[in-house]
Structure 1
Amino acid sequence: MPTRAALWNDLLDSLLALRDRVLDESEKRLAALDHQDPGLRLHPGVRNVVHYLVLRSVDIRPLQEALAREGLSSLGRCESHVLDSIERIIAVLRAATGKARGRASDASTTRDDEDASTLRSNTEILLGPAPGKRNTRIMVTLPGERATDLAFMKELLTSGMDIARINCAHDSPVEWAAMARTLRVARQETERPCKILADLAGHKIRTGPLATEEGVLHLRPMRDHRGRVVLPAHCRAAWKGNAQSPLPPVDCQLLPLETNRPPEVGEVLRCMDARGKERRLEVESVTDAGVTLSCPQSVYLMNGTPWQSDQHRRRHGHIAGIPETPTAILLAVGDHLLLTRDALPGAAAEPDHHQPARISCTIPSLVERLPLGQKVWMDDGKFGAEVVSQSPDGALLQITVAKPGGDRLFPDRGLNFPGLPLDLPPLSDKDRADLDVIVPLVDMIGFSFVESAAHMRALRDALSQRQATHLGIIAKIETAQAFHRLPEILLAAIGRQPLGVMVARGDLAMEVGPERLTEVQEEILWLADAAHLPVVWATQVLESLAKRGMISRPELTDAAMGERAECVMLNKGPYIGQAVHTLDDILTRMQGHQRKKFALMRALHWS
């Protein structure tokens, strides 16, 4: 068994060899960057990320285990100061073995006492100052329908929102401008800072439209476990005496035939619903915006359904204003779906005519490029499929993943083709037009579907053309190609523009596979830490709480993991204010236990 002195000499030799490898290989990589900008090699984030890439190009697990057994640092948290970590262990081993100092290391390396302040500075420049009680920011996606709701914006700010997100894939420039104006007033009135991010839509590949059919409004009462009615069914109906007047947000319209006088509270409107069943709709309230109707039974209403007042013979009419609904495409494992090359509305399968269900793709040119066996994911993983044949009409898919009994596919749902090179321009025509609108409104741009250094340079050029080089950029890592090219994407902007990284876990899971997502998101966190760049932890954080008001235990654990990032993003939902408040509490508590990969040991109070 080797003596302690021999063991430490071996460790010293291994570390010296590792340091020399990092220095020599890093110099080659930095020299390759000199053609872009000779000044890049002087940037501490650039140098450290190159050191980290070289370090992680070899398997050092045996060395780590040997160092840990001797009570030395195992390099497990060296992402942000690679060479400094190696040098500190070397210095300890030199002192222990009596060896003289050898080759000088990189003098410009980031030190252990500098990395945190560098990351903090970069984060504040991009995301704004940290809230007083926590370090991790909260980003919230703003809903277009609340664009002018000042009380709503103030609630988000006081609950803990630090960054407001405008999603350019939804709403219009009118709503975007209204969001920015309302938020500006809310910031002044609450005296809370809040930056604005605008996410470019990018080349989002989605399912096309579906054929529509006559709309049906189904009203359901709430029943208990024994089937007894607890609450009657309700709907809001506009009283449309004047066909030209604007309509408020309602479920349907009541079109009168003889009188323009609206019904009264307590009045009963009798009708035969779509199934031919007689139903009584009682008027619960009447306002200028319309009336509220209730019914203790289930009722199906359609446009043209006649109604008659029980109390007033001349007050009668019919139902209108129920929108058409998309044709249902129900898909189960083993079913076929034709992804068409044309933009015609999709439709359900027609078994009698041996026609599979069909739907179009928003980027038709991709359909003919799908090879046999290509995996396809739809609607954030609700459906998995595989290309089984190609024809002049499109690519025929066979469903391989769906919930038992099948599920419905809707229009405007995401499509992912793992491993397929998309070869799309970095910015779409819509992206360029949107930049003209949003540049004066926001503080940073979310770059959707960035996949290479060339893509990053294209966005930087577009911002330069609009005199907007001061705006920050958040590179959204959504595809497998973006993940594999993350180092070049970061090196194309570090030091030249405020920069951050978003782990867009929804699309990324479809690209790399849900089983590998945990590993991939960890690697993104590590690389961003090596570059001293802030990270946004995104997609489905507290999703059940924001959308349904229900807390899911796995989502709480996921939200707590987000403390390792500099920002956590929430999507919109009816209960978003509650979700912001809950996330604020979770992040505040967790920062006492963990910082990045470093477990903190604050005092615990077990009695």
Structure 2
Amino acid sequence: MVSQISKPSIESLHLSSPQELLSTLQQLRQTVESEGKATFDEWNPHIQRTAFIDSALNLAEYLALRRHDLRSLQAALMPWGLSSLGRIEGRVMPNLDAVIATLEVICGSQSDRHCQRPPVEFFFEGDRFLQQHTEELFGESSPHRRVRIMVTLDTEAATNYELVRGFIQRGANCMRINCAHDTPEIWQGAIDNIRRAERETGTPCKIMMDLGGPKIRTGAVFMPHHKKRVFKGDRIVLSRQVPESDSAADPAKSPHVKQFQTSCTIPSILDLLAVDTPVYIDDGKIWTQVVDTQYHIAHEQPGLLLEVTNTSPKGVKLKPEKGMNFPDTVLDLSPLTEQDLTDLDFVAAHADIVGYSFVQRPADIELLQQELAKRCEHRLSPPAIVAKIETAIAVSNLPELIVYAAGKGSFGVMIARGDLAVQIGYQRLTEIQEEMLWICEAAHIPVIWATQVLENLVKDGIPSRGEMSDVAMSERAECVMLNKGPFIAEAIDILDDVLTRMEAHQLKKTPQLRALHSW
């Protein structure tokens, strides 16, 4: 809930005197300190790692601060050269104290609430904590670049050593293995190549293994004889189970089918859907909404009837094994499937980092921590955890997810922009991405910028202009992830170059003011 500071209100501060600004900031500081402490006291029982205590307190104070609309206050401070609240994430109280102390000097104030200017080391302590937590997760940075590069490996990495070695030599700091694909034998081959390349190049490289999580996908697809693509206004029958059949791939073999038909790999989800509920298919390429929850086909169990509300004007092929999203529906699913638990036996023994898909609540974090503890008795410490934030629930629970995870071990956050955009709406993605970056910086937690980074370059060999702007923006994260493709090596080169250049101009939200050589 956003609140306002009273007497004077922040809206009236744009022409305020230094004395009025000082009084407002003193009141704001007192509120932030008391509310932040109350939140921290609730979190404290879940924090076992002493290295995270100061970070958790700063996060609690930042949340207390951001409950207020500070725009007018920020503008009122600008004429006095004090507009530093916009870069307060990593150091809430030292920043407030520094502004208050300066205003006291301007006002000649010697009140009972006199504020001592914080020591310089306090002011930059947040940066030091973030660097420390990032090194715990990803190891030391490259000599010329702060932001790490993560590369998603494909099957070829298991048998092509030179490919893996080339990635590391070009600047990859972390390799990602997606457990939704391939087998433990293939994973082992890729890991052996990574470790060999580390030894031969003398360059460390972390390994992150992503658990597959619950796969909410389309099943077999049946198409009408006369149609091969789905268009706006078409209807799709979503059944609890569609019989597997060769005719699914060839509409000519199923002339009796009158409309598109598919199923959901987790049928219980259908019971949660009501009329007008949105259902997105194939990463949002097909938007639909439920128009009937008891639709019958012959003698089958009733399914859902969906109407396509948006898709490409050229139509989209409805295919099996495509992701399904339910943005307005709370899915009470365990993020650890039976397959994940089996895979975790291998992951716990070989990975430096576990990528956690579909995590939404603090209990999900505790579940993975418990399962890792069972499998890591002989390791000095369990693998670090990276939570993939891909639902609206996960976004709203982000502070608690951070506390429960980082309070016990090394932790990072991945902004999974693909699923997240479908879940919250593309128009909100940039806004939510910014807010997540701020929250994580306040907690001194490293962030992975993921999904479709340099996708055109990776797949086709030529980047788009928009992709280059996206890469420049990604400098504010601690790691940028590239997905697999035939031109991944070229993408590493360009990403390394752009990140290095941007780092000379920008550090998180702070301009570096490097000399301009173009004019």
Structure 2 vs 1, CA of residues 127 and 104 (structure 1 numbering), >3 Å: closer, same or farther?
farther
1:205 equivalent in alignment to 2:108: no
1:333 equivalent in alignment to 2:245: no
Q: Which moved more, 1:396-405 or 1:563-572?
A: 396-405
Structure 2 vs 1, CA of residues 334 and 87 (structure 1 numbering), >3 Å: closer, same or farther?
same
Q: Which residue does the alignment assign to 2:335?
A: 426
| Mapped contact 1:48–1:109 kept (Cα < 8 A) | no
Q: Which residue does the alignment assign to 2:437?
A: 525
Percent identity of the aligned residues?
42
Secondary structure of the residue aligned to 1:132 is coil
* Counterpart code for 2:179: C
| Mapped contact 1:210–1:347 kept (Cα < 8 A) | yes
Structure 2 vs 1, CA of residues 384 and 3 (structure 1 numbering), >3 Å: closer, same or farther?
closer
Question: In the TM superposition, what are the counterparts of 1:7-406 in structure 2 within 5 Å?
Answer: 7-37=17-47, 43-100=53-110, 102-103=112-113, 111-210=122-221, 329-345=228-244, 355-391=258-294, 392-406=301-315
Kindly provide the CA deviation profile for residues 570-592 of structure 1, in whole angstroms up to 9, marking residues without a partner as x: 00001111111111111111101
| Higher alpha-carbon Rg | 1
Kindly provide the CA deviation profile for residues 164-189 of structure 1, in whole angstroms up to 9, marking residues without a partner as x: 00001111111111110111112222
CA distance in structure 2 between the partners assigned to 1:14 and 1:378 by the alignment: 50
Q: Which residue does the alignment assign to 1:572?
A: 484
Kindly provide the CA deviation profile for residues 402-452 of structure 1, in whole angstroms up to 9, marking residues without a partner as x: 111212122211111002111012311111111101111110101111101
| Mapped contact 1:419–1:480 kept (Cα < 8 A) | no
CA distance in structure 2 between the partners assigned to 1:406 and 1:561 by the alignment: 33
Q: Which residue does the alignment assign to 2:317?
A: 408
TM-score, L = length of structure 1:
0.77
TM-aligned CA deviation for residue 104 of structure 1: 8.0
Structure 2 vs 1, CA of residues 415 and 108 (structure 1 numbering), >3 Å: closer, same or farther?
farther
Q: Which residue does the alignment assign to 1:595?
A: 507
* Counterpart code for 2:318: L
Secondary structure of the residue aligned to 1:207 is coil
TM-aligned CA deviation for residue 601 of structure 1: 1.2
CA distance in structure 1 between the partners assigned to 2:212 and 2:115 by the alignment: 45
TM-aligned CA deviation for residue 29 of structure 1: 1.3
| Mapped contact 2:209–2:347 kept (Cα < 8 A) | yes
CA distance in structure 1 between the partners assigned to 2:261 and 2:138 by the alignment: 44
Kindly provide the CA deviation profile for residues 247-280 of structure 1, in whole angstroms up to 9, marking residues without a partner as x: xxxxxxxxxxxxxxxxxxxxxxxxxxxxxxxxxx
Structure 2 vs 1, CA of residues 188 and 4 (structure 1 numbering), >3 Å: closer, same or farther?
closer
CA distance in structure 2 between the partners assigned to 1:38 and 1:407 by the alignment: 50
TM-aligned CA deviation for residue 210 of structure 1: 3.9
Secondary structure of the residue aligned to 1:111 is helix
Kindly provide the CA deviation profile for residues 465-498 of structure 1, in whole angstroms up to 9, marking residues without a partner as x: 1126431111110111100110111111223200
Structure 2 vs 1, CA of residues 379 and 6 (structure 1 numbering), >3 Å: closer, same or farther?
closer
TM-aligned CA deviation for residue 39 of structure 1: 7.7
| Mapped contact 1:44–1:108 kept (Cα < 8 A) | no
CA distance in structure 2 between the partners assigned to 1:109 and 1:364 by the alignment: 58
1:509 equivalent in alignment to 2:421: yes
- Count of residues in correspondence between the two structures: 492
| Mapped contact 2:49–2:409 kept (Cα < 8 A) | no
Structure 2 vs 1, CA of residues 101 and 497 (structure 1 numbering), >3 Å: closer, same or farther?
farther
Q: Which moved more, 1:162-171 or 1:138-147?
A: 138-147
TM-score, L = length of structure 2:
0.90
Kindly provide the CA deviation profile for residues 295-333 of structure 1, in whole angstroms up to 9, marking residues without a partner as x: xxxxxxxxxxxxxxxxxxxxxxxxxxxxxxxx9851011
TM-aligned CA deviation for residue 355 of structure 1: 2.6
CA distance in structure 2 between the partners assigned to 1:348 and 1:562 by the alignment: 43
* Counterpart code for 1:557: S
Which of 533, 540, 563 aligns to 2:475? It is: 563
| Mapped contact 2:13–2:72 kept (Cα < 8 A) | no
Kindly provide the CA deviation profile for residues 496-545 of structure 1, in whole angstroms up to 9, marking residues without a partner as x: 20011100000000011000000000000000000001100000000011
* Counterpart code for 2:161: L
CA distance in structure 2 between the partners assigned to 1:495 and 1:372 by the alignment: 42
Structure 2 vs 1, CA of residues 3 and 183 (structure 1 numbering), >3 Å: closer, same or farther?
closer
TM-aligned CA deviation for residue 354 of structure 1: 6.9
CA distance in structure 1 between the partners assigned to 2:283 and 2:395 by the alignment: 18
CA distance in structure 2 between the partners assigned to 1:459 and 1:101 by the alignment: 51
* Counterpart code for 1:91: A
Structure 2 vs 1, CA of residues 126 and 328 (structure 1 numbering), >3 Å: closer, same or farther?
farther
| Mapped contact 2:222–2:257 kept (Cα < 8 A) | no
TM-aligned CA deviation for residue 42 of structure 1: 7.6
TM-aligned CA deviation for residue 105 of structure 1: 7.9
CA distance in structure 1 between the partners assigned to 2:74 and 2:412 by the alignment: 30
Structure 2 vs 1, CA of residues 564 and 549 (structure 1 numbering), >3 Å: closer, same or farther?
same
* Counterpart code for 2:185: V
Secondary structure of the residue aligned to 2:203 is coil
Give the superposed CA RMSD: 2.6
Q: Which moved more, 1:176-185 or 1:100-109?
A: 100-109
CA distance in structure 2 between the partners assigned to 1:7 and 1:62 by the alignment: 14
CA distance in structure 1 between the partners assigned to 2:401 and 2:250 by the alignment: 42
TM-aligned CA deviation for residue 98 of structure 1: 1.8
Secondary structure of the residue aligned to 1:387 is strand
1:473 equivalent in alignment to 2:385: yes
Kindly provide the CA deviation profile for residues 120-176 of structure 1, in whole angstroms up to 9, marking residues without a partner as x: 111011011101111110000000133121011011111111100000111111111
| Mapped contact 2:390–2:419 kept (Cα < 8 A) | yes
Kindly provide the CA deviation profile for residues 79-117 of structure 1, in whole angstroms up to 9, marking residues without a partner as x: 000111111011011111122254488999993221111
* Counterpart code for 1:595: L
TM-aligned CA deviation for residue 564 of structure 1: 0.6
TM-aligned CA deviation for residue 70 of structure 1: 2.3
Q: Which residue does the alignment assign to 1:440?
A: 349
* Counterpart code for 1:148: T
5+ residue gaps in structure 1?
A: 213-326
Q: Which residue does the alignment assign to 1:541?
A: 453
> Structure 1 or 2: larger strand share?
1
